[in-house]
């Protein structure tokens, strides 16, 4: 019997690979002869690099790049088994956890390190880049990343500006004549599951600025900067990014990647499923087990279990979603291809106990799931 185990990480607790391995151990308690294929999953956020490398027989590459405050951080990205596809998490170079609480200030942060990671991948021979842009500490409209690859931002006097959030308002023209020519030969796909526009009341600054340390006044000034940058992009590059859904993701990095690198924004889980050739793995499978830290009705909107279930549903394969916790309206998930849902909390327990013993609970639950599935097949 072939079983696919394709969970997301349990955020802040266990990686996707650790979750998948625990589920495998539990099922093998019942039947050691099972054919179990582990495919750790992610949707472009935290854990995407590790999951992609593990699922697609890739390798992890470490590079010293700029952190959001222009210090140095050892960031990682993956090169998949084809040798030409890189998977990058912008948060590893430009993420909020890299900034101490007392220094959180999107006026002063930049995505320059993310651009350096892209350049490193190009130097490694990559022709396709999958870029997850969740968890940013930045609100620079992508100026930093673009600058790292040769784009120049100039003020009204023709002098080069900086590339932090507070510099967007200063930009009067953009020079892309020195943009790394390899960018034009590279397919850049951005894992983005939010629909925020570049600026405005639901744009990058107003929605995400406060969590990055912006005051009320800074939110307003950052929004003015994004408006200015969008206008200059239209004037200098002939591209209108203002209202593209997702252009406001990661402090406007989504829009900047479109404008400067001709990137395409796509569903994160769909990108990862394609990169690891998930559909091919489903051939002859009789059961799929997925999961995440907490599953509720929001899971249907582009999260890992939803993407996995949709792929399995096309082949008529039953899907069990086995998560740390189950929330509200989970019955709505049956229609997207999830056959049954289970929680690791199989008895009365505290949250701390559930977290500290998550691997044991995963093993216990997985054994019961396979016992029930096999019993059903004999009826």
pLDDT digits (tens, 9 = 90+) for 67-124: 999 999 999 999 999 999 999 999 999 999 999 999 999 999 999 999 999 999 999 9
CA dist 340 and 328 (Å) reads 15
pLDDT digits (tens, 9 = 90+) for 121-180: 999 999 999 999 989 999 999 999 999 999 999 999 999 999 999 999 999 999 999 999
Q: CB neighbours of 229 closer than 8 A, spacing ≥ 6?
A: 141, 143, 168, 171, 252
In sequence order, the β-bridge partners of residue 305 are: none
CATH code for the domain defined by 48-268 = 3.90.1510.10
Residue 302 has pLDDT above 90, yes or no: no
* Percent of the chain topping pLDDT 90: 92
Question: How is the chain split into domains, by residue range?
Answer: 2-41+279-378, 48-268
Residue 321 dihedral angles phi and psi, to the nearest 5°:
-100, 115
pLDDT of residue 193: 86
pLDDT of residue 255: 98
Mean pLDDT, rounded, for 12-35: 96
Q: Which fold has domain 2-41+279-378?
A: Rossmann fold (3.40.50)
Terminal Cα-to-Cα distance of the chain (whole angstroms): 16
Confidence class of residue 288 from pLDDT cuts 50, 70 and 90?
very high
Given a contact cutoff of 8 angstroms between Cβ atoms, the answer to whether 312 and 282 are in contact is yes
Residue 57 has pLDDT above 90, yes or no: no
């Amino acid at each position: 019997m072939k079983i696919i185990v394709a969970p997301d990480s349990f955020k802040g607790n266990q990686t996707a690979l650790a979750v998948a391995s625990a589920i495998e151990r539990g099922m093998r308690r019942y039947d050691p002869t099972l054919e179990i294929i582990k495919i750790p999953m992610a949707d472009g956020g935290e854990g995407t690099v590790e999951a992609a490398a593990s699922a697609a027989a890739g390798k992890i590459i470490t590079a010293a790049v700029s952190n959001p405050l222009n210090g140095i951080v050892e960031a990682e990205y993956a090169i998949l088994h084809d040798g030409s596809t890189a998977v990058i998490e912008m948060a590893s170079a430009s993420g909020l956890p890299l900034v101490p609480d007392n220094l959180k200030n999107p006026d002063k942060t930049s995505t320059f390190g993310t651009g350096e990671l892209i350049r490193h991948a190009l130097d490694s021979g990559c022709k396709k880049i999958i870029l997850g842009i969740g968890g940013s500490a930045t609100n620079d409209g992508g100026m930093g990343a673009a600058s790292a690859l040769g784009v120049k931002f100039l003020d009204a006097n023709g002098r080069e500006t900086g590339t932090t959030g507070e510099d967007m308002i200063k930009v009067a023209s953009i020079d892309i004549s020195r943009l790394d020519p390899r960018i034009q030969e590279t397919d850049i796909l951005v894992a983005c599951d939010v629909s925020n526009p570049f600026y405005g009341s639901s744009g990058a600054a107003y929605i995400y600025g406060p969590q990055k340390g912006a005051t009320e006044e800074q939110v307003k000034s950052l929004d003015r900067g994004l408006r200015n940058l969008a206008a200059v992009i239209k004037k200098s590059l002939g591209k209108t990014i203002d209202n593209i859904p997702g252009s406001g993701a990661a402090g406007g990095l989504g829009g900047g990647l479109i404008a400067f690198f001709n990137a395409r924004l796509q569903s994160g889980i769909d990108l990862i499923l394609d990169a690891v050739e998930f559909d091919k793995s489903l051939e002859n499978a009789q059961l799929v087990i997925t999961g995440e830290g907490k599953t509720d009705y929001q899971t249907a909107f582009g999260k890992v279990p939803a993407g996995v279930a949709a792929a399995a549903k096309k082949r008529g394969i039953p899907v069990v979603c086995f998560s740390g916790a189950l929330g509200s309206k989970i019955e709505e998930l049956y229609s997207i291809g999830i056959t049954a849902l289970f929680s690791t909390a199989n008895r009365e327990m505290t949250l701390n106990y559930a977290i500290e013993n998550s691997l044991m609970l995963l093993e216990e639950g997985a054994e019961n799931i396979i016992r029930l599935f096999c019993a059903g097949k004999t009826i």
